[in-house]
């Protein structure tokens, strides 16, 4: 079902330090995970891109949110997101309704078809997530989360 992913930017010589090895491996794992995720999206029957799946997931979690809410949440370009939303609406995956309190705002939600696609995408994501951590015990998964949380905190502290 999944193809092996080539390593991008693979360096011939190994990392210079343990810290570099950790970050290189995190990058490699994330690249391989995303590549597999994109392939699953391309190969599924729903014809949904990665960004469209992100937009749909946002409106699944925030029913009735606006395009402005999506922009604020994602930090992405409003024009890009407006184009994605328009395409999802045209395909019948998103429904829109004018806000009763402020007619300038359009509230968005997944349509019934959008909900079905989102559920299928979520199920595919669960399979990939389980595959990625297969063989790790619950304790090992918790330890990995704790360690990566510390790495993230270290980077956050430098902002």
Surface-to-core class of residue 84, CB atoms within 10 Å of its CB (0-12 exposed, 13-18 middle, 19+ buried) = buried
Q: Which domain holds residue 69?
A: 18-157
Q: Is 7 a domain residue? A: no
Q: Is 63 a domain residue? A: yes
Do 45 and 123 meet the contact criterion of CB atoms below 8 Å apart?
no
Predicted confidence band at 159 (pLDDT cuts at 50, 70, 90)? low
Tens of pLDDT along 46-68? 788 889 989 999 999 999 999 99
Q: Looking at residue 80, which CATH number applies to its domain? A: 1.10.10.10
Q: Is 69 a domain residue? A: yes
Alpha helices (H) along 2-137: 18-43, 50-61, 67-74, 78-90, 112-132
> Whole-model pTM?
0.71
- Structural domain count, the chain: 1
């Amino acid at each position: 079902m999944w193809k092996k992913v080539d390593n991008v930017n693979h360096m011939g010589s190994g990392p210079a330090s343990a810290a570099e090895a950790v970050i290189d491996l995190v990058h490699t794992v994330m690249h391989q995970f995303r590549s597999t995720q994109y392939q699953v999206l391309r190969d599924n029957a729903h014809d949904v891109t990665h960004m469209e799946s992100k937009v749909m997931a946002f409106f699944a979690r925030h029913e009735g949110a606006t395009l402005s809410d999506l922009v604020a949440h994602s930090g992405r370009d409003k024009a890009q997101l407006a184009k994605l939303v328009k395409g999802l609406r045209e395909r019948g995956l998103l429904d829109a309704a004018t806000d009763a309190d402020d007619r300038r705002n359009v509230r968005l939600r997944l349509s019934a078809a959008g909900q079905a696609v989102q559920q299928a995408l979520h199920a595919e994501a669960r399979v990939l997530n389980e595959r990625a951590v297969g063989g790790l015990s619950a304790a090992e998964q918790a330890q990995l989360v704790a360690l990566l949380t510390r790495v993230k905190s270290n980077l956050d502290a430098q902002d």
